[in-house]
């Protein structure tokens, strides 16, 4: 049986822990601020206890804590463990984590999560790069986790996700702008119907999900869009739409902070 340590037991971590457990993996969770005993998830008392002897370590601690968590976990990992960073962090952060793993001779997978985890749980689509990507996929694919392994070092999966962010977060803020304009004009329901029709089957649910998710996760997504903008600048391509997307997220976060 595959033993998986999960660092970070927030919304995504909880879903991966319970989903992978039900799929047959042995789970060890670690989060000093969250108790999942009500969900039947075994929790370790320390990072060392969680990581020791694990086949896979999943880091779901959030981008700001990703490097520190990696450093702590990799100090306890062996070459038989693959460290998979699933945080939405920049390519540079992923490369720095890979360097830490390299010093410890631990294979590392840069893993990008391609959809909100609550929609499909541990069956959410992933893309992975880095020297540990193939090993990561071999461990979790039999458990129902869809992983696309792409060529390249750690940071490549993160880069691909940022390119996807240009579209997905841009679409979300375009929908927000359309709905708010229609609301001001007294035509909100008509506009929602138009958007749903153009987006095809499931369009209404998608509109609602993008509006809700944009507001609920605005702080994290502002950072993600900022990283996407930096990637476009690095590539030397036009970035007008992404700058506008960032302006929307900055406004939402500022309004929230002002409440």
Q: What is the pLDDT of residues 15-61, one digit of tens each?
A: 999 999 999 999 999 999 998 888 889 999 999 999 999 999 999 99
User: Cα–Cα distance between 183 and 176 in angstroms, integer?
Assistant: 10
pLDDT tens digit string along 195-209? Answer: 999 999 999 999 999
With 70 as the cut, is the pLDDT of residue 191 above it?
Answer: yes
Cα 87 from Cα 249, distance rounded (Å): 19
Q: In Å, what is the CA distance from 182 to each residue of 109, 137, 189, 245? A: 44, 45, 8, 19
Query: CA 49, 57, 231 angle in degrees (round to 5)?
Result: 135
HEC sequence for the chain: CCEEEEECCCHHHHHHHHHHHHCCCEEEEECCCCCCHHHCCCECCCHHHHHCCCCEEEECCCHHHHHHHHHHHHCCCCCCCEEEECCCCCHHHHHHHHHHHHHHCCCEEEEEECCCHHHHHHHCCEEEECCCHHHHHHHHHHHCCCEEECCCCCCHHHHHHHHHHHHHHHHHHHHHHHHHHHHHCCCHHHHHHHHHHHHCCCHHHHHHHHHHHHHHCHHHHHHHHHHHHHHHHHHCCCCHHHHHHHHHHHHHHHHHHHC
User: How many whole angstroms separate alpha carbon 92 and alpha carbon 155?
Assistant: 7
Q: How many CB atoms lie under 10 A from the CB of residue 205?
A: 11
Q: Which two tokens stand for residue 99?
A: 């360097």
Q: Give the pLDDT score at 257.
A: 82
**In the predicted model, is pLDDT for residue 102 greater than 80?**
yes
* Mean pLDDT confidence for 143-169: 98
Token representation of residue 81: 């463990």
Label residue 148 by pLDDT band (50, 70, 90): very high
Quote the pLDDT of residue 156: 98
User: Residue 259 has what pLDDT?
Assistant: 66
Q: Pick from 14, 238, 199: which is nearest to 117 by CA?
A: 14
Q: Which of 62, 85, 63 is nearest to 73 (CA)?
A: 85
253 Ramachandran zone, left/alpha/beta (phi>0; psi -120 to 50):
alpha
Instruction: Give the mean model confidence (pLDDT) for residues 226-248.
Output: 97
Please write the tens of the pLDDT for every residue from 79-92.
999 999 999 999 99
Joined together, the tokens standing for residue 225 give 């869009």
Q: How much is the mean pLDDT over the chain?
A: 96
């Amino acid at each position: 049986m595959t033993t998986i340590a999960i660092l970070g037991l927030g919304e995504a971590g909880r879903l991966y822990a319970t989903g992978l457990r039900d799929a047959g993996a042995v789970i060890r969770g670690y989060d000093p601020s969250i108790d999942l005993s009500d969900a039947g998830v075994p929790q370790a008392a320390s990072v060392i206890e969680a990581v020791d002897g694990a086949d896979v370590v999943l880091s779901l601690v959030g981008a700001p804590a990703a490097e520190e968590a990696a450093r702590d976990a990799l100090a306890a990992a062996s070459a038989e463990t693959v460290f998979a960073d699933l945080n939405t962090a920049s390519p540079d952060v992923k490369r720095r984590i890979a360097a830490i793993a390299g010093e410890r001779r631990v294979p590392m997978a840069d893993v990008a999560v391609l959809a909100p985890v609550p929609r499909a749980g541990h069956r959410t689509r992933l893309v992975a790069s880095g020297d540990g990507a193939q090993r990561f996929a071999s461990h979790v694919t039999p458990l129902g986790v869809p992983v696309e392994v792409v060529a390249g070092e750690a940071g490549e999966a993160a880069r691909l996700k940022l390119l996807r962010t240009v579209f997905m977060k841009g679409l979300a803020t375009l929908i927000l702008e359309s709905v708010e304009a229609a609301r001001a004009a007294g035509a909100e329901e008509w506009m929602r119907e138009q958007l749903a029709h153009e987006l095809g089957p499931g369009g209404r649910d998608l509109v609602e999900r993008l509006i809700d998710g944009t507001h609920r996760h605005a702080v994290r997504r502002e950072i993600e869009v900022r990283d996407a903008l930096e990637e476009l600048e690095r590539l030397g391509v036009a970035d007008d739409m992404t700058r506008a997307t960032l302006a929307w997220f900055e406004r939402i976060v500022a309004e929230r902070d002002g409440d």
